[in-house]
Amino acid sequence: MIAQLVLNGFVTGLLLALPALALTLTFGILKFPNFAIGAMLTFGAYAAWVANSLLGMPLAVAAVASAVVMALVAMLCDVLVYSRLRDRGSITLLVSSLGISLVLENICRFAFGNATRNFAFEVARPIRWHGLRINQEQLITAIVVIACVILIQLLLHASPLGRAMRAVADNPALAAVRGVERQTIARITWCIAGCLTALSGVLAGLDRAVDPLLGWNYQIPIFAAAILGGLGSPTGAIVGAIVIGLAEELSSLVLPTNYRQIVSFAVILLLLLVRNRGLFGGKAVRK
Amino acid sequence: MIAYLTTLIILVAVSALVGLALNVQWGVAGLVNFGVVGFVALGAYTTALLAPPLGWFPAMITAAALCALISTVLAFLSIRLEENYLAIVTIGFGEVVRILLLNESWLTGGAVGIADIPRPFVNLVPPRQYDLMLAAFALVLVAIVFVLLETLVRSPFGRALRAVRDDATVAAALGKPVLLLRVKAFATGGAVMGTAGALHAFYLTYIDPSQFTSIITAYAFMAVIAGGRGSNFGLLFGAGTIMVLLEATRFLKDAFAVIDGTQLAALRLGLIGLGIVLLLILRPQGLLPEPQRKANDFFPDHEGTS
C-alpha cells in the first residue's frame, strides 16, 4: 500500500518536474515567476489534442507538434509582451503573466468549451510487478520526463548554450560584457520552457483528461516544487517536484484526497517560515 | 430596465470595493495579492453564517474584521519576502479557501452553498422597491469606503506607504517601520475585501463556491491598472468602465447567435487578460494617474520650494 503510494507520488512528482523546470529556468534568466505556467500547460495539452484527435496524428507525433507550437507561442509572448516590459520590474512582469494566462486559457475555452477531452490512445492493462500496479501512462511519464531531464542537464552543463544561459542567470551584465546577449538567451529559454510545459501538458492530459482548468490544477504544486528547490535552481526544481509529488500522495494516508492541493500550499508556507532559500539556494528575503 | 440598472449599480459597487481594496494593497503599498477572490469569499461566507443570529450589521463588521485578521497573519508570514513569493502565497490562499468552502459542507453547505441570507433594511421599504434601496446602500457603502481610503492615502500613513512602495530601503533608512506599514496596508485591503463579500452576499441572498472564481481577482487587477495604480478616483472610474463594458458583451450573444454562454464567459475573461497586458504596455500609469503631490500642495504659503 505504502509502496504503491510512493510509486504514484514519484510519478506525480516527475510530472511536476517539467513545468517546475520551465518555471525555474525562466525565473533564472528573467527574474520573475511566470504565472502563466499553468495556462501554458493547458494550451500545450489542447494543441496536442487537436493534432491527435482532430488531425489524426499518433500521440507521440502530436506531442512533438504541440511542443513546437508552444515554443513558438512562448516566444511570441516574449516578443509581444515580456521583452517590452523587461525594464519595469518583476511586479509588472508578474501581473502581465497573469494577463497572458487569462488569454491562453480562454482561447482554449472559447474554441473547445468546458468539456473534458481525451486523447485517442489505447488504454493498456496496468503492469503488475511485486504487488505494485504500474499504469502504462505512469511508465510513459517516467520515461519522457527522465529523458527530458537528462537532456536539459546535458544542455545546461555540457553545451555552449547552457553555459551562456547559466552566465546570464548568474550575472547578466558580466555575461553581456563577454558578448552573451540577454535577449537571445531569453528567447531560447522561452522556447525550451514552452517545449517542457507542452510535454507536461500532454502527460497531464494522459493522466487526467484535457480541460481548460487542467494547468490551473497544477499551478500551486508547480510553484511549490520550484520554490522548494530554490527558484532559479534547475536541479532543485526536479528534486522539489519529486518531494511535492511524494508529499501529495502520502498525505492521502492522513488527509481526505480533496485536500491534496492544500499540501502544496502548506509546504510553501512552511518553507517560507523555516528555510526561505529553498533547498538549493536562491534568495527570498527582501531586507 | 430599472431592475437591470440597479443590478448594474450593485455589481459595479462590489467590484469597486474589491478594486479599492486591491488599490490599497497593490496600488499604494506595492503588495501583489493574487488571492483577492479568497478574501471576498471569506467575507461573503462569514456574513452569510453570522447574519441570521447576529443581524446584518454585526455580521458585516465581523466579516471585515476576520478578513483583516487573516490578511495580517498571511502578511506576517510572507510579506518580508520578495513580491514574487507574496503572489504565490496569496494565490495558494485563494485556492485553499475554495477547497475548504467546497469540502467543509457542515459549515458552508458545500457546493450547494448557503441560501436566505438576511438583507439590510428589509422592513424600511416595500419589497417591490427593495432593489433600489440596496443599490443606494451599495453606493453609500462605496462612498464611505472611498472617503476613508482617500483620507488614509492623503495622510502621513499613506505617504509613508508610497515611500515604501517606491523604495523600501530609503524608507527604512528614514526610520519608517517598513514591515509594519506593509502589514497594515495589507490588513486594510483585506477588511475592504471582506466588506465587498458582505455586499455580494446581501445582493444575491444565496452564495455558493461557483460564484467566487478567479474572474473576481482578474476584474480587480484590471480595474486598478485601468484606473491608474494608487489613484482612488481612477479606480472608481476604472471599475465602472470595465463593468459596463463587460456587461455590454452580454449583448454580443444576441448579435451573434453562434456564441454560446461558455464562449461568452471565455471571451470576457480573455478580453480582461488582453486588456491587462495592453494597458501595462501602452499606458502603465493608467487612465487617471495617481496625483503627484508636491510640497507646495501641502504648504501653500511656503516660499521658495524648489
Contact B218 A102 (CB under 8 A): yes
Q: What pLDDT is recorded for position B299? A: 63
Range of the domain at A147: 2-118+143-274
Q: Which three-class secondary structure state does DSSP give residue A180?
A: coil
Best A94, A106, A108 residue to mutate vs chain B (most B CBs within 10 Å): A106
Q: What is the rounded CA–CA span in Å between residue B33 and residue A94? A: 11
Q: Which amino acid is at B292?
A: Q
ipTM for the predicted complex: 0.86
Q: What is the pLDDT of residue B46?
A: 96
Which range (A276-280, B7-11, B102-106) has the least confidence? A276-280
For A84, the closest chain B residue by CA position comes to: B281
- From the list A105, A107, A287, the residue facing B172 with the nearest CB is A287
Residues A193 and A234: beta-carbon distance below 8 Å: no
Lowest mean pLDDT among A118-132, B135-149, B196-210: A118-132
**Cβ-nearest to B276 among A98, A223, A227:** A98
Report helix, strand or coil for A134. strand
Strands A132-134 and A127-129 come out as antiparallel
Which residue of B77, B93, B269 is in closest CB contact with A272?
A: B77
DSSP secondary structure of A255-276: S-GGGHHHHHHHHHHHHHHH-T
Per-residue pLDDT of B154-173, as tens digits, reads: 999 999 999 988 888 899 89
CB neighbour list of residue A135: distance below 8 Å, 6 or more residues apart: A126, A127
Q: What is the pLDDT along chain A (287 residues), one digit of tens a residue?
A: 788 899 999 999 999 999 999 999 999 888 888 999 999 999 999 999 999 999 988 999 999 999 999 999 999 999 999 999 988 888 889 899 999 999 999 999 999 988 899 988 777 778 887 778 888 889 899 999 999 999 999 998 888 988 888 888 888 888 888 888 888 899 999 999 999 999 999 999 998 899 999 998 899 999 999 988 888 888 889 999 999 999 999 998 888 888 888 888 888 888 877 765 666 655 444 43
Instruction: Give the A window 108-127 contacts with B, CB below 8 Å.
Output: 109-110, 113-114
Cross-chain CB nearest to B103 (options A85, A220, A258):
A258
d(CA A149, CA B168): 39
Q: Which of A106, A268, A287 sits opposite B88 (nearest CB)?
A: A268
Minimum CA–CA partner of B100 in chain A: A259
What CATH number does domain B2-291 carry, 2.60.120, 2.40.160, 1.10.3470, 1.20.5? Answer: 1.10.3470
Q: What b/e string do you get for B150-168 counting C-beta neighbours within 10 Å, with b at 16 or more?
A: eebbeeeebebbbbbbeeb
Q: Could you tell me the three cell numbers for B1? A: 430596465
Please answer yes or no on whether A272 and B89 come within 8 Å at the CB atom.
Answer: yes
Residue of A83, A98, A231 best to disrupt the B interface, most CBs of B under 10 A: A98
What is the pLDDT, as a whole number, of residue A287? 33
Q: How far is B202 from chain A (nearest CA, A)?
A: 29
CB contact under 8 A, A94 and B84: yes
* Residue A28, in any domain of the structure: yes
Name every chain B residue with its beta carbon within 8 A of the beta carbon of A114. 262
In B, which residues are within 8 Å of A264 by CB distance?
92
Nearest by CB to residue A268, choosing from B89, B263, B266, is B89
Whether residue B274 has pLDDT greater than 80: yes
* Helix A136-158 and helix A182-207, axial crossing angle in degrees, nearest 10: 170
CB contacts, 8 Å: B273 with chain A: 98-103, 106
CATH number (domain holding residue A233): 1.10.3470
Q: Is residue A131 part of a domain?
A: no
* Across B184-213, average pLDDT: 94
Contact B266 A262 (CB under 8 A): no
Nearest-CA residue of chain B relative to A112? B263
Yes or no: say if A225 and A241 are a contact pair by the CB < 8 Å rule.
Answer: yes
Report pTM: 0.89
Do residue A102 and residue B270 have CB atoms under 8 angstroms apart? yes
Q: How far apart are CA B204 and CA B114, in angstroms?
A: 11
Q: Which three cell numbers stand for residue B194?
A: 471582506
A275 or B50: which carries more pLDDT confidence?
B50
Contact B24, B185 (CB under 8 A): yes
What would the pLDDT profile of B235-255 be if each residue is shown by its tens digit?
Answer: 999 888 888 887 777 777 677
Is the pLDDT at B289 greater than 90? The verdict is: no
Do A85 and A178 contact (CB within 8 A), yes or no?
A: no
Which has the higher per-residue pLDDT, B199 or A274? B199
Residues 228-257 of chain A whose Cβ lies under 8 A from any Cβ of chain B: 231, 256
Instruction: Indicate whether A107 belongs to any domain.
Output: yes
CA atoms of B161 and B79, how far apart (whole Å): 14
Longest dimension (CA), chain A: 58
Coil, helix or strand at residue B185: helix
What stretch of H or E contains A127? Answer: strand A127-129
**Domain count for chain A:** 1
